[in-house]
Amino acid sequence: MHELSGDARQDDHSSRILEQSSELTLFRGVLLFIGYVVLWRVSALMEYAPHASLWFPPAGWTLAAFLVFGVRALFPLALGMMFTTFWMNAIYDAGQTITEVLVVGLLFTFAISFSYGLGAALLRQFVRFGVVRDLPVMVMSFLALGALTSLLASFLGTQVLLIAGTVSIFDVYTIWLPWWIGDMAGVLVLTPLFMVLMLWRQPHLSSWVRTLRISTEPTPIYQFGVKLTVLLSLLYACILLSWWFEHRDVAFAVFFLIIPQMWIAYTENALRTAVSLGVFSLSLAIGINLFDLGESAMVYQFAVTVIAASVYFGLAVPVLLAQNQQLQMQAQFDYLTGVTTRGYFSELAADELERASHYKYPISLLMLDLDHFKRINDTYGHAVGDKALMAVADVLKNQLRPSDLCGRFGGDEFLVLLPGLSESSASKVVVRIKDAFEYIAIEGLDEPISASFGMVQIEPGESLEKALQRADEHLITGKRRR
């Protein structure tokens, strides 16, 4: 039930959202397979050395898939990795038999899937156990795990090539670093964007964005277009200078592009910032390929990763500045009873209604109003009245499920949202609460605690406000009958 205090309540909601794996339908599985193959081919066209691409989008695609779909993503991704292994064998004309290629493909699939699956599982566990609490910590966790998992993938991947006889032991030492940096660039730059694409129109996306307090307010599209044009113009200016002077040191000028990229991060929403990073990295890879700047590829790879890391921290800065723990507590939780405030209840309820609509399960709303509360305050004092409110809140906490929402609507009124319960099932909850009220004993109060209830099952497509109005009407009707 949603009545935790402090950061624990926010962390619990974040954990529920980020631990959930989206449903992987056949259509999405096919898209995962096609996406992996297409992205692999794009990266293969931008190789500046054998087995070394400036920027490897399939790495970001793989990590995003495991984060969004969990272990369900393994099968379509494994098919994509096996397919590309056979394709790679054809490109490099390795002359291996089908059996040999199959064995290499299975080893390669294990190496990559294990690495990025492990990274995704660790991030999920960090969320589950409260290690990741908010956006800044999530950024640091993502960057650290992105770097480490891509390092593990490059190490295991080069070992597979060594076992297959594709490269010698001496080649391993020359290709593992560019492999790692290319994978890391793909992970850090593209994973968030790919996650947004995979979660598009899913209830988890809006809940995640709302929970992490990520800005979603866009500026006019032409302003974003101007900023992106400035960024890309400066990028190709750096590429042309590097090509013209034919000196590796000139390539370091690309690091200054962190300034226009941070300009976008501070003035645009998170989605547009992720898009700008993706466009920036793709344009950089195309430019290096067109102007044959492979000798400076490592410089550009490090630039992409550094800029990406800086941008993600840039997204977190407004959150850090705006985050005031005390004000957040006051806005989200009632100081007396510990249940959610009306505003925060409405925010969480909106997420629950969206999920209920998407997964087509029933959801009921309960409103209760303490009987004769004004008389209790006037006769026994406000201190006793406060104890009565706290006792009622404790009863609700004990009688409701962890998945239920409980909030204080106003003075002596409480709201309860019951996901997954129809009206008939919710009526049984009302009976339990009424029975529990009979056992409330408050020092200084010589009369029993009772309440009037208004209960409705929320109709598909019905707004929370409309449901509240119907519940209030039922509550008033119940009071008149007593």
Query: Which residues are annotated as catalytic?
Result: 412
Handedness of CA 34, 35, 39, 42 (dihedral sign): positive
Q: How far is CA 137 from CA 134, 140, 212, 422, in A?
A: 6, 5, 11, 39
Cβ atoms of 166 and 94 within 8 Å: the answer is yes
Whole-number Cα distances in Å, 472 to 112, 274, 341, 368, 453 = 56, 44, 18, 9, 9
Per-residue b or e along 210-227, where b marks 16 or more CB atoms closer than 10 Å to that residue's CB: bbbbbbeeeeeeeebeeb
Question: What are the helix (H) ranges across 333-408?
Answer: 342-359, 373-380, 382-399
Alpha-carbon dihedral angle through residues 41, 44, 45, 51, given to the nearest 10 degrees:
-170
Q: Within 10 Å of residue 186's Cβ, how many Cβ atoms?
A: 29
Burial bucket for residue 297 (CB in 10 Å: 0-12, 13-18, 19+):
buried
**In 3D, which of 450, 299, 254, 301 has the Cα closest to residue 368?**
450
- The answer for residues whose C-beta is within 8 angstroms of residue 61's C-beta and 6 or more apart is 32, 35, 36, 39, 186, 190, 194
CA nearest neighbour of 239 among 273, 280, 274: 280
How far is CA 102 from each of CA 52, 96, 166, rounded to the nearest angstrom?
22, 10, 14
Three-state DSSP state, 22: coil
Residue 83 sits at the vertex; the CA angle it makes with 100 and 95, to the nearest 5 degrees, is: 35
Centre a 10 Å sphere on the Cβ of residue 124 and count the other Cβ atoms it contains: 19
Answer whether 213's CB lies under 8 Å from 136's CB: no
